[in-house]
Every structure is written in structure tokens, then in C-alpha cells.
Amino acid sequence: MASKYGKSERRGATRIEAVRPTLKQPPRWPLLTIRWFAAAGLLVSVYLAMLHAQAGAGGSIDSPLCGLSPTVNCNSVLGSAYSRLFGFPVADWAALTYAGIFVLSFLSQPVLLVLLCGWAFTFSLYMASLSLFVIQAACLFCITLYTVNIGLLVGAVVLARSSSTLTAQQAVFTIVGYTVLLAGFGWQQSQVASVVSAETEPISAPAPAAVDTEFLRYYNSRPLVTLTGEERYTEGPPQALLTISEFADFRCPQCARAWGIFKQLMHGNPNTIRLIFHHYPLDSECNPHITQQVHPASCAASIAAECAGDQGKFWDYADLLFADQKEYNKADLEEFAKTLNLDLQRFQTCLTDNQIRERIGKDIAEAERIGLKATPTLIINGHFIEGIPAPNKLASLITVEKQRAGK
């Protein structure tokens, strides 16, 4: 009897096992995809973090792949106020994120892995938007990381679908969480950017012991160039210790930042700096070397500044242009002229004068002769510098020049 029961029990067990569903194992390729893209992202972000460390806060990035063109230029992106988050370069945060993704790809933590990959992609959308619409320039290394994050997203989506990691409701909550985080980060970065643009305190040259020696090595390694173009607009004494020739675009955010730094330095070191302004509008309207529009209306702004200069108000007009970097129309430019009490009829006539365009064309030709790739570009005592170095770095040059002059 017992034997019959045991056989019956075994037969029942067999039947139950036969109908039990077999768990579907997720394919291996999503994990491998995530792993390889995370490793690539880690390498690129570590390299970017090293460049940031060498340049310091707001310093110029020195890499052969950095200054490919006015629109693809690392100094414009990585030197902006938006390149840091809570005081640390975004590249540092990126390296930590990719390291976390790489480690999680070896652990049985699919939920965390999918969430982190999704966050990397979402944050890259945010940074790409800043680059395109706010900074108006791109970084080749950043573009590489955007591509990496697309690969991570594809791997994460397939992994989530194949292993049922996230429900639809959880996915919605995740997107909402990402949005809240990005709103917080955007607010924090905008606060920092507004503080940087509003800085007006004078900057004095440091004591010899506080000179930034790393920047000095970089400065002395830069190629020397001699400018031969006309010096129409200058501030500071002819025999100043530090002569800074700037090639700028009135709608370039980094040029506006440079403008503020120069004022702080000149205020803190009177009669020590000579500033010379040259036009290089990133606008195909008057710059034949720009194949696509980067800063529309910057040509019109340069022309208007020249016309204000003919009435002795170039620097004042430049202040107004840098303070409000919109896509200027004729009414805007005339309103600035009224603000400075310029002869409006003379100003309006000047705006259509071909001789003004020829002046700007000479600056553009000089910029091309020396190999300019982006704005702002500075020639500091003959040294070719792309981007705007941090204020303390520029102030270090004043200290060094004072030592050389025995002052």
C-alpha cells in the first residue's frame, strides 16, 4: 500500500515539475555591452579629469584634440562655469559614475545597474543641451561620452526588458526622480554661473611665493606670435608690463567672462596691463572662414561697436554688448547707441559703411594668419593662449613680469 502511495506521490511530483515554467535567462550581450561602454567612458572621463587638474579652476585645457574649430573647442566648454558641479569638475563625477557601472556589471544588481545607466544617459542630455544652447560650443571628448551613454542606455533597456528588472510604474517614478535631480543641478550651476559673471572685485597680483608655477610652465610652453595688425582700441599704458591682445566675439559667453576678468585685473593692478581688442565674429555674414552660423548677429555687433568707436565710445558700447548677449537686431544696436548718447544719425549711416566691414575683415585676416581656432584667443606678451585662464593664473603673470623688471 505504502509503495503504491509513494509511486503515486512521485508521479504527482513529476507532473508538477513538468508544468512549472522555466525562468528565462537574460542574454549576456547587454551586460557585455554595458561593461565595454563603461570602460570606454571611464578612460575618457579620467583623461578629462586629468586635463581639468592640470588647468585648474577656469584654466585653459591643453590638448591637441581640444581646439579643432570655433564650434568644437574644449576650452569654451570645459572652461565654463557649467563644467563644475558642487565645486568639482563634471569629469570627476562622470569617472565615478562609469566606475560604478563597470563594477555593478559584475555583480547581481540589475536594478542598480539599469538605474545608473539611465542616469548617465539623462545627465548627458542635460549637459549636451547646455553645450548647444547656453555655451554654444562642443567638446570632442564630451561628444564621445554622449555616444558612450547611448550605448549604455541600449544595454540597460535590453537588460531591463529581458530580466523584468523594472515595471512600467517604477520606470515612470525613475524618470520623475531624474527630472528632479537635474532641476536641482541646473539651479546650482546657474547660481555659480551668475556669481562668476557678476564678479567685480579687483584682483591683485599675488606674492612671489604664491605664483602658480604650473601655469607658468604652460604659459612658457605656448608658441610665440607677433601681431602685425592695426591696434585701434587699447586700454592701459603703452609700456605696460603685460600686453594682452584679445580676439573676441561679442556673443561668445567665454569672451564676456574674459571681459569681466580683464576689468578686475586692471582695477587691481593699475598701469600694469595693456588690453588690445580685435574682432573675430563667429558669423558667416562677415567672416568667410565660418562655414556655418555659430553666433548670428555677432558681425552686426562688431560693426556697431566700430561705429561707437568712431564716436569715442567703443569700450562703453562693448560693455553693453557683453552684458546682453542676445541675437541683436538693428533696433537693439540703436537702443545701445541712444543709451550712450551717440549721434544716432551718424551711427545709423556708419552701420552701412563698407569701410567698417573692411576694418573687421583685417582683424579676421590677422586671426587666420596666426592660426586662431576659437574665441577668446589671447596673445599675452607674444604667447598664444586659447581660452581664458583663471584670474589667479593671469595675476601670476603680473608678479613674474614685475620680478623681471626689478619692481
DSSP string, 260-326: HHHHHHHHHSTTTEEEEEEE----TTT-TT-SS-SSTTHHHHHHHHHHHHHTT-HHHHHHHHHHS-S
Is residue 345, in this structure, part of any structural domain at all?
yes
The residue segments making up the domain with residue 58 are 29-197
Domain match, 143 and 258 both: no
Domain match, 102 and 171 both: yes
Is residue 255, in this structure, part of any structural domain at all?
yes
Domain match, 193 and 215 both: no
Domain match, 57 and 190 both: yes
Domain match, 283 and 356 both: yes
**What's the confidence (pLDDT) of residue 74?**
75
- In angstroms, how far is CA 104 from the centroid of its own chain? 30
Domain match, 256 and 349 both: yes
Domain match, 226 and 157 both: no
CA distance 123 to 140: 17
Is residue 19, in this structure, part of any structural domain at all?
no
Is residue 73, in this structure, part of any structural domain at all?
yes
Domain CATH for 352: 3.40.30.10
CA atoms within 13 A on the CB side of 104: 20
In terms of Cβ atoms closer than 10 Å to its own Cβ (0-12, 13-18, 19+), residue 85 is middle
Provide the percentage of residues in the chain whose pLDDT is more than 70.
86
Cis (ω within 30 of 0) for the bond into 202?
no
Domain match, 193 and 212 both: no
Nearest Cα residue to 70 out of 218, 229, 253: 253
Question: Is the Cβ–Cβ distance between 306 and 337 less than 8 Å?
Answer: no
The grid coordinates of residue 320 equal 553693453
Is residue 13, in this structure, part of any structural domain at all?
no
Domain match, 254 and 282 both: yes
Domain match, 109 and 151 both: yes
CA atoms within 13 A on the CB side of 381: 13
CA distance 303 to 350: 8
Q: Identify the segments of the chain with pLDDT beneath 50.
A: 1-2, 5, 8-9, 13-14, 16-23
Question: Is the Cβ–Cβ distance between 33 and 154 less than 8 Å?
Answer: yes
Is residue 164, in this structure, part of any structural domain at all?
yes
Domain match, 44 and 170 both: yes
Work out the number of other CB atoms within 10 angstroms of the CB of residue 237.
12
Specify the number of domains making up the chain: 2
Report, in this order, helix, strand and coil percent for the chain, each rounded to 5: 60, 10, 30
Question: Is the Cβ–Cβ distance between 317 and 334 less than 8 Å?
Answer: no
Of the three residues 197, 228, 253, the one that is the final residue of a domain is 197
Most distant CA pair in the chain: distance in Å? 119
At residue 244, what are phi and psi to the nearest 5 degrees? -115, 115
Domain match, 222 and 308 both: yes
Of the three residues 170, 197, 224, the one that is the final residue of a domain is 197
Nearest Cα residue to 160 out of 106, 104, 118: 118
Continuous segment of H or E residues that includes residue 245: strand 242-248
- In angstroms, how far is CA 46 from the centroid of its own chain? 17
Is residue 152, in this structure, part of any structural domain at all?
yes
Of the three residues 178, 197, 216, the one that is the final residue of a domain is 197
Give the pLDDT confidence of 341-399 residue by residue, as tens digits: 999 999 999 999 999 999 999 999 999 999 998 889 999 999 999 888 888 889 999 99
Is residue 300, in this structure, part of any structural domain at all?
yes
Nearest Cα residue to 277 out of 308, 244, 309: 244
Nearest Cα residue to 84 out of 197, 169, 193, 247: 193
Domain CATH for 50: 1.20.1440.130
